[in-house]
Amino acid sequence: MSRRFRMTTALDVDDVLLECVPYAIKLANEKYNFDPPLTIYEVDRWGKLGTRADVIFEFFTEEFFRTQPVIAGAKEFVRKLSQMTEVFICTSVYPQFMSIRAEVIMREFPEIPPENIYMGSRKDKLNVDILFDDGMHNVINSNAAYPILMRRPWNQSATGMLAVNNYDEFLKLVEVISTSYSAIRDDNKNPSIVALVGPSGSGKTKIAGKLLEKCNKFEKLLSYTTIDPTAKDEDAWYNYVDKKEFFDMMEKGELFESTMYAGHGFGSKKSDVDELIGKGKTVLAIMDICGAMSLKTHYKDVVTVYVKREKRELLASILEKNSTNEDKVNRIISIDDERRNEEICDYVIENNGDYDETADKLLKLLF
């Protein structure tokens, strides 16, 4: 079965379709010759920060909004998305610049009908299937069925919500969401990659350990993270790096996927995945939904498994972790956001606390 009507998608503009913060940073560096140059990573949350990055706000003028560059790939992205869903624009811009913003959108993105362009900051009033925005507050407060975050340095504290790093990942996620409305899914036996997804405390790591013990087809994928290395229960699945090294790896393109979870960076190298697949192994990964969608974008025969657990058990597991109170709070807050991800995973497995039983059930689903 398939849906009888087209899904609707609302797109933000600044730093989703048009450069905003990077453009302002470029202008600031040209004017003030900062040494070292101002970088996008200094804008780690939205608004005035009390740092030198505050200078970007002086450039938000009429000329700025007239000359904002289109982000590379944005035009092709809108063309592809328009074939998949009905596309709307919802953009928050100063009232005096609304006509300029509309002119730019109509000129650069002719696939979007003028009547589908909305101006205003109350995106919580939008009645659409999908919202794509880089503003964490817009995603958190959205009434869209699937609010999706475009990862940017200023939303790195976002935890548990649907998020992507680029247009390709978003289009893949739209494809997965549209498939989730089907009553029947194709079985994908003998997958090349299995990604376990679920909230903190769901038992993903322990289940993965049992899968490795019970089935020699698997080879675990080590990720790279900035998480507190005192969290010893997850050591075996991560290579620890500091934030500077992590961001350097991102800048150099060494990570084919990266995300922030509970304020920590996580990422994986394509070369690592390719090496494991080359050995004839099924890659076993523990990821958030952002990383899982990235795998589906880059590889075939990827199966996502949502690990479901009672909320009381999730809370108990988080509170027992050897980590900071701030880290625990971030993980607890993310629990409800994670539940949405269950709908778009290929399989859902219930963790009742018996890890052997859970692993056995999952193996029957996969092979």
- From the CA atom positions of the chain, what is the Rg in Å? 21
d(CA 229, CA 226): 8
Residue 308 has pLDDT above 60, yes or no: yes
SS3 label, residue 355 = helix
Q: Domain 193-366 class?
A: alpha beta
Give domain limits for the chain.
8-179, 193-366
pLDDT confidence of residue 348: 93
Residue 184 has pLDDT above 50, yes or no: no
Tokens standing for 159?
């935890």
Confidence of residue 183 (pLDDT cuts 50, 70, 90): very low
Query: Which single residue is written with the structure tokens 């503003």?
Result: 135
pLDDT confidence of residue 4: 46
Average pLDDT on 298-308 reads 91
Distance of CA 179 to the CA centre of its chain: 19
Do 193-366 and 8-179 have the same topology in CATH? Answer: yes
pLDDT confidence of residue 339: 75
**pLDDT, tens digit (0-9, with 9 covering 90-100), for 94-126:** 999 999 999 999 999 999 999 999 999 999 988
pLDDT confidence of residue 176: 85
Residue 199 has pLDDT above 90, yes or no: no
**pLDDT, tens digit (0-9, with 9 covering 90-100), for 218-276:** 999 998 988 765 554 555 788 889 888 888 888 888 888 777 665 678 888 888 999 99
pLDDT confidence of residue 357: 94
- Pairing label, strands 257-261, 264-268: antiparallel
Q: Which residues contact 69 (CB under 8 A, 6 or more apart)?
A: 18, 19, 23
Contact assessment for residue 156 and residue 134, using Cβ atoms and an 8 Å cutoff: no
CA angle 213, 216, 221 (to 5 degrees): 80
Residue 187 has pLDDT above 60, yes or no: no
d(CA 156, CA 174): 22
Phi, psi values for residue 303, rounded to 5°: -115, 130
CA angle 340, 341, 343 (to 5 degrees): 80
CA angle 362, 365, 367 (to 5 degrees): 105
**Residue of 17, 98, 96, 23 whose CA lies nearest to 56:** 23
Half-sphere exposure of 300 (CA within 13 A, CB side): 0
Q: Domain 8-179 class?
A: alpha beta
Query: What one-character DSSP code corresponds to residue 223?
Result: E
Residue 181 has pLDDT above 70, yes or no: no
pLDDT confidence of residue 15: 97
